[in-house]
Each structure stands twice: as structure tokens, then as C-alpha cells.
Amino acid sequence: MSRFALAVSRGIARVTESPLGPYQTAVIRIGFAATWLLFLLREIPHRQELYGPDGPWGWDLAEQLVGANGAFTALLWSDGRLWFETVYALGVLSSLLLIAGWRTRTMSVLFMVGVLSLQNRSVFMGDGGDNVLHLMCIYLVFTRCGQVWSLDARRARRTREAHARGERVTDRTGPLLWSVLGLVLVGVTALGRLDGDWMVPALLWGVWVAQALWWLVGRLTRTGEPRIMLDVIANILHNGALFVIMAEACLIYATAGWYKIQGSRWQDGTAAYYPLHLEYFSPWPALAELMSTSGTVVMLVTYGTVIVQVAFPFALLHRRVKNVLLAVMIVEHAAIAVVLGLPFFSLAMIAADAVFLPTSFLRRLGHWSARARGRLLRHPLPKVPAQRTPDAAERHGEAEQSHVGFRA
């Protein structure tokens, strides 16, 4: 066998035998779900104005836009306030459960439904991070993002241990959840609520059928070949989605960098000065003024941003250079969150960057988190004594006096 054929066979085996990047996909799962969850929690007082019936982007405007572009949003199934509150609450709940890694396949689909429903209802509510989240929530459905750092991983480990002891484990939650969501999917399809663009309905039905097939194969087949075949298909989809996520992140940086090069303000090194003096992007005016008073700092930030964004896709060819630029970009996004007041844009970009983090670093991070949690559980915080009533305090004082008298 030639070297080329051997390399091709090894590559095919690597793509099909196991899902790649389990820690990276777990990080982006937690990162994107946490970004969306924090956004929804922060905007609870303003949810009606942003995405609800009281918003400036009214029902008629949203219906016209969705009718023209075929975008998916469950919020246009009804104009009632109760329905809006239900969808908003489901968005919060699915984000929280996806962070915990409970039934990640189902929660990733519900997470996608929540993100698309709210964002497509009012398309002008966002700061740029919503576009990243919009795309990544679709890609996340195809990944096996619950292999580590999830309740699913813990349940799978306990199931393997039970099988090793000869015990039989029956999963009732999964089929029940699949049945309920299947009834909902059949109902909304029969009512014509999924009319429009075919992609999201096809994805919903595809995942539902795949879950049924997975359960039937595990339940009815006596040999392991059908399950192995399904594992191979799932691994290919996972690895393909992971590659698309990485390519998307590179495309974002490369496009942003090359467009900046064409701008005159980026060419003369003054572009970073102007957003620091926009009132809308100045939550800390004193800090922005301090940064913009130095022409050297403005020039370094301007040119450094362009260099890092343009160079990053090429830096993937060298591990150490990639890690350095990755750290620089994460620090840059953290600075944007603080200085320009764009926390959710920065969190979304940091979550996208996390797909390139080294596995060794993520393992150490998980080990440190486990040790910190273990120490916290072994040494719980001291309980604060309950406040005494006046009668109890008086009785306690009498007891202390009698105890002192006894010792004397």
C-alpha cells in the first residue's frame, strides 16, 4: 500500500471511528448557551419591547418580513402575550439544560428553536454577536456535544458500570420526551405552522426520526453492526459540523480583517479612536478617554487588530503561533466587552474562539474545576445561626450565667 493510500485510510478511520474534539464541542456548547441565557436573563424587564407584542417592530412588520424571506420563528404562530412568555421561558430553560448537558441532542434542537424564534421575530435587535449565535446554534445540532462535562456523560458512565455488573438499565425519560415533542411537531406541521423555508422543518423532522431509529436499533437488534453504522454516521456529522464551525470562525476573522485593510482610517492607524467617542459605545467614558488620549495606543490597537484578524487563519498551520494569537483575540474581546459595552458580542466570539483551544489546556481546566468543586463540597460554608427571639435570648443569657456560676 502506498503512503498516500495509507494516509487516506488513516484519515477516513479518524473521521469515522470517533467524534473529534469532545472538549472543544463541550466548551462551545456551554459558551453559546451561557451567552444566550445571560442575554435573556438581562433583558427580562425589556423582553416585551425587544421581541414581544409591545416592540416597535410590530406584528405586521414581522409577518411581512418572515413571509418574504421564509425565516423560522415560533413567535408568529400566535400574537398572544401568554404564547410569547411561554416561548421566552422555554428559551431560558433550554439554555440552562444545554449548559448542564441534560439530553443534549434534544436540548440543542430546542435551543436552536428558541434562538431562531426570538431573533427572527425582531431582526434589528442585536449587536453583531446575534449573527454568530444564529449560525452556531444550527451547527451545534449536528455535534455530539455532550461527551464530556455533561449530565449525559455521567449517565452514560453509570449505565456502563451497571451493565458491567450485569444490571439492566431502562431509559424512560428519553422515549417520553421524544413522544411529547413528536406530538407537538405533528400538530404544528398539520396546522401549517412550518410552512416557509424547508431547512428548519427538515432539520426538526430529521432529528426526530434519527432519535427514533437510534432507540429502535438499540432496543430491537441483537447484533452490534446496526448500532456501529449509526455511530459512524453520527461521527461523520459531528466531525463535519466541527469543521464548519472552525471554518466559520476563520471566515469571520478573515473577512473582517481584509475589509478593514481597505478602510482609510484603518490604513492611517486612527480607526480605534472613533468608537471610543461614540456615546452609545461608551459605558465608561473616563476609561475610553484615557485610552484615546495616547496616539501610540490608538495606533497599536488599530494595526494590531488588523494584523491578528488577517493572520489568524494562517496561524492555524503552526500550533504555538495559533495559541498566542488566540490568547490575544480572547483578551481583545474581553476588552471590547468592558470598554465598548458589548458583553454578549464578546462572549459569542470567545465561545467561537474556544473551538481552537488546545485539548491539554481544556483537560487541565476541567481538572482544576473538579478540584475546586471537590474542595467546596468537602468544606461547605459555615451556617449562619438563626436570629434569636427576645425570649430565647433571655433564656440563653440565664443559661450562660448559671454555667459561669457552676464553674466558679
Q: What is the pLDDT of residue 382?
A: 53
Q: At residue 400, does pLDDT exceed 90?
A: no
The model's confidence at residue 399, banded by pLDDT at 50, 70 and 90, is very low
- pTM, rounded to two decimals: 0.89
Of 211, 184, 41, 47, the residue nearest 113 (C-alpha): 184
What does the pLDDT average to over 264-287?
A: 88
Q: How many Å separate Cα 374 from the centre of its chain?
A: 25
Q: Which of 174, 68, 211 is nearest to 203 (CA)?
A: 211
Using one digit for the tens of pLDDT, what is the confidence trace for 72-95?
999 999 888 999 999 999 999 999
Burial 201-230 (b: 16+ CB within 10 A, else e): bebbeebbeebeebeebeeeeeeeebeeee
User: How many Å apart are CA 41 and CA 408, to the nearest integer?
Assistant: 60
Indicate whether 306 pLDDT > 90.
yes
Q: Which of 321, 319, 399, 388 is nearest to 358 (CA)?
A: 319
DSSP string across 133-171:
HHHHHHHHHTS-TTSSSSHHHHHHHHHHHHHHTT-----
The per-residue pLDDT for range 164-187, each reduced to its tens digit, is: 888 888 888 999 999 999 999 999
Residue 404: what pLDDT? 36
Confidence bin at 270 (pLDDT 50/70/90):
very high
Task: Choose among 81, 133, 195, 51: nearest CA to 61.
Answer: 51
> Mean pLDDT across the stretch 62-75?
90
Rg (the chain; Cα; Å): 27
Return the pLDDT at 383: 53
pLDDT at res. 215: 87
% of the chain surpassing 90 pLDDT: 60
C-beta atoms surrounding 327 within 10 Å: 12
Residues 94-128: tens digit of each pLDDT? 999 999 999 999 999 999 999 999 999 998 887 77
Q: What is the mean pLDDT of residues 241-262?
A: 94
Q: Does the pLDDT value for residue 12 go beyond 70? A: yes
Q: How many Å is the maximal CA-CA distance in the chain?
A: 96
Residue 190 has pLDDT above 70, yes or no: yes
Instruction: Identify the band that residue 287 occupies on the pLDDT scale cut at 50, 70 and 90.
Output: confident
How far is residue 404's CA from residue 408's CA, in Å, rounded to a whole number? Answer: 6
Euclidean distance between CA atoms 54 and 387, whole angstroms: 45
What is the rounded average pLDDT for all residues in the chain?
87
Summarize pLDDT for 26-37 with one digit per residue, the tens: 999 999 999 999
Query: Exposure of 285 by Cβ count < 10 A (0-12 exposed, 13-18 middle, 19+ buried)?
Result: exposed
pLDDT reading at 408 higher than 60: no
More confident position, 402 or 370:
370
User: pLDDT for 361-376, tens place per residue?
Assistant: 999 988 888 888 778 7
Residue listed under C-alpha cell 430491537: 220
pLDDT score of 323: 93
DSSP summary character for residue 379: S
Q: Are 51 and 125 contacting, i.e. CB atoms less than 8 angstroms apart?
A: yes
For residue 1, the model assigns a pLDDT of: 58
Which pLDDT belongs to residue 403? 40
